[in-house]
Amino acid sequence: MTALLRVTSEDVARVLSCIQPTGSVHLGNYLGALRNWVTGQHDKDVFHGIVDLHALTTTTEPRVVGQATIELAAMLFSIGLDPEVATVFVQSHVPEHSQLGWVMECTVSFGELSRMTQFKDKSAKREAEFVSAGLFTYPALQAADILLYDANEVPVGDDQRQHVEITRDIALRFNHRFGETFVVPEAVTPAAGARVMDLQDPTSKMSKSTETENGCVYLLDDPASIVKKFRRAVTDSDADVRYDPKAKPGVSNLLDILSAATGSAPSALVEHYSQYGPLKQDAADAVIALVEPIQQRYHELMADRGELERLLRVGADRARSVATATLRRTYDAIGLLPC
């Protein structure tokens, strides 16, 4: 019955977003983006892929990606993605991604892939380390992720715009060569979430690659660690509580977090504080209240692996029903021999 809630009507945009299973979800991911996935699931026909195959571009150890995948899946359901409404799936469960990925590799040029700034940055950073060919062909697999689902919209941050652009180029080129096959997607700016900064370095975005462990609050942190991290949050030496992100980034970040967690505007919240201590305490308490129910659902789901696997099968089945049709259409357009 709940299946009726799913938005599948022809005139509703299909939206695809994917996330790599690398590392734990932190407050910046949640308040900045993932929370909007949850509210957005009712407005459009949303597909959310956990792209484990993309993570293989930098993986060298057994079982790491699988574990990260199940944890991320549990987290996505725990924050409120409803498997009856949103299609949540694991990329490797839908073999059409790899299959269409090859077609994409043959539709993009070596030169185009060489110009991808993410490849240039990542391969340069890896210096003497192993640089897999997958790191180079990564955008072709990403194009397959997008085109398989006839996605109209792909919400991405600036770092991924180039990958959506190349996907459009690939789709147009393919359609030109072999006839109308793919929906040409558009990169859209995700609904603006809160901009959460590092608690130790409030001029940088909160990120798991932070040098100071205390700067990043994970959704699965226990209450004591959350309190500790907020208590140690960097503020400034004048003791006046004002919302001024430029002059007072630390204090403003605390107000932004408190605002995102409670729904009150920073300008209203600021009235209640004359000292940093109580602001830090309240921000910590609000975050604890926010993550508590998420953590509870997460631990329940992680303890019920069968249920988690069932939910992912539901997503994979739904994803495959779209993906097989697109792959078939692609092979037919090229004129590959049917088997």
Note the residues at the interface with ligand TRP (CB under 6 A).
16-18, 20, 51, 54, 142, 145-146, 154, 156, 160, 163
Select the residue whose beta carbon is closest to ligand TRP and give its number: 18
**DSSP for residue 23:** S
Q: State the minimum distance, in angstroms, from the CB of residue 6 to ligand TRP.
A: 20
Catalytic residue among 44, 125, 205, 246: 205
DSSP calls for 264-323: --HHHHGGG-SSHHHHHHHHHHHHHHHHHHHHHHHHHHHT-HHHHHHHHHHHHHHHHHHH
Identify which of residues 146 and 260 has a Cβ nearer to ligand TRP in the complex.
146
How far apart CA 68 and CA 72 sit, in angstroms, is 6
Q: State the minimum distance, in angstroms, from the CB of residue 13 to ligand TRP.
A: 15
Of the candidates 171, 175, 179, the residue with the CA atom closest to the CA atom of residue 152: 171
Q: State the minimum distance, in angstroms, from the CB of residue 182 to ligand TRP.
A: 14
Cα torsion through 280, 282, 287, 293, rounded to 10: 150
Q: State the minimum distance, in angstroms, from the CB of residue 301 to ligand TRP.
A: 23
Of the candidates 96, 94, 107, the residue with the CA atom closest to the CA atom of residue 334: 107
Distances (CA, A) of 173 to 82, 138, 170, 250: 36, 18, 5, 48
Active site residue 246: no
Identify which of residues 16 and 227 has a Cβ nearer to ligand TRP in the complex.
16
Render the burial of 171-203: b for 16+ CB within 10 Å, e for the rest: beebeeebeebbbbbebeebeebbebbbbbbbe
Q: For the chain, what is the total number of helices (H) and then of strands (E)?
A: 14, 5
Q: Give the burial class of 319: count Cβ atoms within 10 A of its Cβ; 0-12 exposed, 13-18 middle, 19 or more buried.
A: buried
Residue 136 carries which side chain, given as an amino acid letter? F
Identify which of residues 18 and 269 has a Cβ nearer to ligand TRP in the complex.
18
Catalytic residue among 44, 122, 229, 246: 122
Identify which of residues 156 and 219 has a Cβ nearer to ligand TRP in the complex.
156
Identify which of residues 161 and 232 has a Cβ nearer to ligand TRP in the complex.
161
Catalytic residue among 44, 120, 125, 208: 208
Question: Would you state the structure tokens that stand for residue 328, as one six-digit string?
Answer: 């078939």
Identify which of residues 14 and 54 has a Cβ nearer to ligand TRP in the complex.
54
How far apart CA 311 and CA 15 sit, in angstroms, is 20
Q: State the minimum distance, in angstroms, from the CB of residue 37 to ligand TRP.
A: 12
Contact 166, 139 (CB under 8 A): yes
Q: State the minimum distance, in angstroms, from the CB of residue 163 to ligand TRP.
A: 6
Active site residue 44: no
Active site residue 280: no
49: which strand partners?
A: 18, 89
Give the residue numbers annotated as catalytic, written as ranges.
Answer: 122, 205, 208
